[in-house]
Structure 1
């Protein structure tokens, strides 16, 4: 199979490359025939399900990790081989099956209800939108979700149309978006590399990004917004290579997707603005230097339209957005600076965890392999850059953002942003890798690094390593109750307490730890406080004297009438490290039992609900006296 590795800048969009792609007419090997591929995928999914069953029962983590990867590789390797060797139709079906396989692990993780932190917030938002019939409902888990109703709005629409449960409707929306992302990558690679084979190969590489299998398949706004992001780029690329009505239609659809992206997720919109700005600037610079149009007007209109819609949304609808985002970037930069000056503000990469050593090793090796592929591409392109379209080079260059983003994993505030960037930067990596694989195939004879078994080995290493870099063990696997994890700290007990308190008192305001809060908000609709330096609500349990009179007055004025305590916070330290967020004064420590016992003696707290592990107190700070109330 051959394809052009030097796409001319002025060729029409549908013109084949100078070395026309030719289909491989050899029949596929038996193990890549469709019955074998589909059968292996089905068996692999069952084996992945078995790994979750083993994880739920506890035991040796090496076993569950080994079984999980046995299932995933059994499912993914044959379909990837078929994509690489098949014709255009086979590659299209193969990409669709790969989309299913990269969606299934997270779906099997919690098929019937939310489990991840962000899932609770978005599920509750959709429930409230449906119950009230109005968008922009307040959300106490992630307050900014209120101002980005794309996810809840689409979920509500699907629920009304299908009659499915809210959770199932959300999963249907998310699965559709997941598939649309991969096929947008197919379109992008076909347009920019001018090869059908490149489209399928780019989709395979993109499916390896560390966010693909778990982070972007959780029910949350990025997994949906990234579909808008990719189709904006795909439609913009088509418009830049078209004329007349086709250009107008593609550009109009791209701008329509811009509206969907802006209304769905703030960070995806930010990445979109930055990328479109870069593409527009590079294309405009090329036009100034070489007098070559290359769709300059399309990219400038798309960039300007995106900025206009995004700014209008933030100014008139989502005004808290900048305040919400600024601590993440500023905090991560400060922490990286502290690490550079040898201050202890960072995090340990691949810190002690149940993750097996072999997976951790592949996690460290994966960026090295990706870096070598990018270096090879740079060497291959250095003499022919003038022959390539500027927008293609800009999208490829954007992939290099992946490498500095890995550094931000070292900073607690930056880790979240780094993970959220991979779904975007890996588009450039996918284009680079597809270009290099096709280039290696053109060589006659094919060098060892371009042979199928080498490429498949690299696929396996990057797949395993990137999934290992994505999320930690409690997010990837179900398991026995473990205090201090968003996923495995959930309990039917907390759900029952949330529903009971809501039935008794309505949607009251509550102080509680960050893990119990998820259940109380999601199932009881309660309004839970967000402790901070300015509002240290953790003083009720994390200090020996209780709240200061100033804090008590603030809580009374704000209407926080209830405290919910899970006694398991006194039995072991939180797995994540804190019980009340980053300002918790007992990070890395269990709450002293005396702090909790004191609550049954102070006059301002009256126990109203008791279960095996949970205590619900009604708060009345008018009864707070100096001897039991703490300092001032």
Structure 2
């Protein structure tokens, strides 16, 4: 009977072919041989071919001349790809403009713009003909183009919910000249002011507004993210082609297009994290060269000079690592903890692979420094980060437990909380994108193990990708759904590397044909498009369009902005105000008011707005919280909240509203003599509660 082995024996001639399978030869071949030969012959051949390609150390066509040979060769497809990206941005501009005018069905133009950006660039990155310089330029072009799409969603003012929270922190620092000022909108933000410090410094030097300065800061961070990710993957895989593929895959994660392009601390901290990993990896490489040179010829003059240069490089890399690590620690808590986790796991992999003792590991020392800095930041007086994070995870875990035990039902997928179903084509793209990622990971891990298992950071990435399927279970919970989407921005760093390794190993350049290029480009475009649709939220709520109730970006309009600005001008700043979610961020930034909510004040203000009458309980809440003004948005009586709640997640019937707020509940304030109506724009009414708060209590 014909037998197959994975030791490199050619099944036809019986001759040995050393090195054909690289790392496969280092496994327990006898065990694998026995397992293979128990399988049917066709299946054995398929598995043998898969192992052969997965462990092939020569996937790139070294005979292809990719060296610069003139301007045309250096640029390659770059001019044409830039034009394609420009057409994509033009299509986006049209869809956004028409959406603001209330036209529907224009999502197809948005999809077209994404395809114009992703498909041509992906094809070129998959091609072995592109030079390294061309790959770098086109991934930067793709990153900048996608960032411009985010800018086009709101080119004149902040519109995403988190942007207002950090704008308030930046504004407080600018006005007071002090760090760590209180921010009722997001208390934890004040203790991680790295991004706001950079913004204020650039704004002060240039004279630009916070908004325009923020566009520059996040734009530079976006370029840093793309370049660092490319160079990190190139450093790990020794392949510019693999690095380009990994970078374009990362751009398809649900948070890349909008969430991590907004003015929020993660948008700056995440690029710095990737940069830190790159610098540490370069330090490891330089350290190996330094130690190798010392052991070879320390007495040679050239070796001594080179030894001195490498020692200087190590010092500079260590200094850069420490500076950027401190910046990450005081920019975003979750990104910092993710970085700490990678460093600890990386150090553990070093020990597991017996690459270096723990006491000599540079990664272990950096991990220890990172953990100490994280603890110092968390233990700042008044820092609520521990309660902030634990309460979030506790809420998600409790909800998941209730679903598994049957105490509550799972969150319905593919429809908003208002009951609007997701279009069928969006469902298909979203499901396909997630299936392609999940199906590709096992093959990617196989290729990683056979080719790169002696590289500690690559193995670390392989361990991290195992978390991605596990967190998907939280998608069926209300609180955990956000957790899954946010984790994608971090987990796609290793996922993109693993999937790029799989693509290059299973489709080496010598087997690559145009049909393979187009098929792979379509698959990667589906991953990117499905991930983007998943990230923009239900009913494309993060894109411009008609006004919607409690829909964050769709709920920001000129009426709310002007009303908030009126309160600052005529009522003065820092009044204690109770209102709904949308007007909270507008009053807290444009109005510079002191917002009363359940996060900072531990007070549930929802009964004030939802109760049919102003009874003793409602009056007690106003007096206990010392609320000076009530801002009532009458539009809450016209539709259910898209996000599932009007005020915050602690309100009565959050995620369970079956009908809009009764109009009588919002107009009852007109019948209370102690409440004084001071403003009415038609949709938004402001009441002064001074007469009610200061009225003597009845005996």
TM-score by length of 2: 0.81
Could you say which residue in structure 1 is the equivalent of 2:87? 43
Provide closer, same or farther for how the CA distance between residues 40 and 552 of structure 1 changes in structure 2, counting only shifts above 3 A. Answer: same
- Structure 1: how far apart are the matches of 2:465 and 2:698? 60
In the aligned structure 2, how far is the partner of 1:123 from the partner of 1:402? Answer: 32
Q: 1:526 aligns with which of 569, 593, 618?
A: 593
CA distance, structure 1, for counterparts of residue 437 and residue 359 of structure 2: 30
Mark the CA change 1:475 to 1:351 in structure 2 (over 3 Å): closer, same or farther.
closer
Q: Check if 1:78 corresponds to 2:120.
A: yes
1:542 aligns with 2:584: no
Contact 2:432 2:530 in 1 (8 A): yes
Structure 1 residue runs without a partner (length 5+): 9-16, 628-632
Give aligned pairs, total. 608
Q: Alpha-carbon deviations, 1:557-611, whole Å to 9, x = none?
A: 5432111111111222222222121232254232222222221122331111122
CA distance in 2: counterparts of 1:377 and 1:202, whole angstroms: 12
Match of 1:103 among 144, 147, 158: 147
Q: Which residue of 1 aligns with 2:337?
A: 270
Deviation at 1:355, TM superposition (A): 4.2
Is the 1:517–1:528 Cα contact (8 Å) retained in structure 2? yes
Counterpart of 1:314 (choices 378, 383, 387) is 378
Unaligned runs of 5+ in 2: 1-18, 25-56, 288-310
- Is 1:390 aligned to residue 390 of structure 2? no
Report the 3-state secondary structure (helix = DSSP H, G, I; strand = E; otherwise coil) of the residue aligned with 1:242. helix
Matched, 1:495 2:561: yes
1:245 equivalent in structure 2: 312
Question: 1:164 pairs with 177, 191, 208, which one?
Answer: 208
Aligned partner (choices 62, 72, 76) of residue 22 of structure 1: 62
| Structure 1 equivalent of residue 13 of structure 2 | none
d(CA) in 2 for partners of 1:570 and 1:445? 62
Question: For residue 41 of structure 2, what is the aligned residue in structure 1?
Answer: none
The answer to whether the 8 Å contact 1:251/1:302 transfers is no
Q: Is the 8 A contact 2:23 2:450 kept in 1?
A: no
Q: Distance in 2 between matches of 1:319 and 1:445?
A: 56
Residue 94 in 1 paired to residue 138 in 2?
Answer: yes
Question: Given that residues 103 and 213 in structure 1 are in contact (C-alpha distance below 8 angstroms), is that contact kept between their aligned partners in structure 2?
Answer: yes
Q: Secondary structure at the match of 2:628?
A: strand
- For the residue of structure 2 that corresponds to 1:347, the secondary structure is coil
Q: Write the distance in 2 (CA, Å) between the matches of 1:173 and 1:547.
A: 49
In the aligned structure 2, how far is the partner of 1:138 from the partner of 1:110? 28
Distance (Å, rounded) in 2 between the aligned partners of 1:137 and 1:547:
36
SS at match of 1:564: strand
Aligned: 1:400 with 2:466: yes
Supply the distance in 1 between the matched residues of 2:581 and 2:526 (Cα, whole angstroms). 36
Q: CA deviation at 1:110?
A: 0.8
Query: Max radius of gyration: which structure?
Result: 2
1:323 lines up with 2:387 in the alignment = yes
Distance in structure 2 (CA, Å) of the matches to 1:279 and 1:292: 12
TM-score normalised per structure 1: 0.90
Out of 424, 440, 455, the residue aligned to residue 357 of structure 1 is 424
Note if 1:332 corresponds to 2:332: no
Alignment counterpart, residue 456 of structure 1, candidates 517, 521, 526: 521
Moved more, 398-407 or 116-125: 398-407
- The 1-side partners of 2:261 and 2:337 are apart by 20
Over residues 67-96 of structure 1, what are the superposed CA-to-partner deviations in whole Å (9 max), with x where a residue is unaligned?
A: 111122123322232333310011111111
Task: Say whether the 8 Å CA contact 2:596–2:625 is kept in structure 1.
Answer: no
Does residue 201 (structure 1) correspond to residue 250 (structure 2)? The answer is no
CA distance in 1, matches of 2:473, 2:240: 35
Shift of the 508–373 alpha-carbon distance from structure 1 to 2, 3 Å rule, reads: same
Map Cα deviations across residues 154-178 of structure 1 (whole Å, 9 max, x no partner): 1111112222221010111111111
Q: Kindly indicate whether the alpha-carbon contact (under 8 Å) linking 1:95 and 1:200 is maintained by their aligned counterparts in 2.
A: yes
Q: Kindly indicate whether residue 666 of structure 2 is the aligned counterpart of residue 596 of structure 1.
A: yes
Map of 1:12 onto structure 2: none
Q: In 2 relative to 1, CA 554–19 (structure 1 residues): closer, same or farther, beyond 3 Å?
A: closer
**Deviation at 1:5?**
9.4
- Hey, what does 2:4 align to over in structure 1? none
Equivalent position SS for 1:616: strand
Distance in structure 2 (CA, Å) of the matches to 1:474 and 1:207: 19
Q: Distance in 2 between matches of 1:215 and 1:328?
A: 19
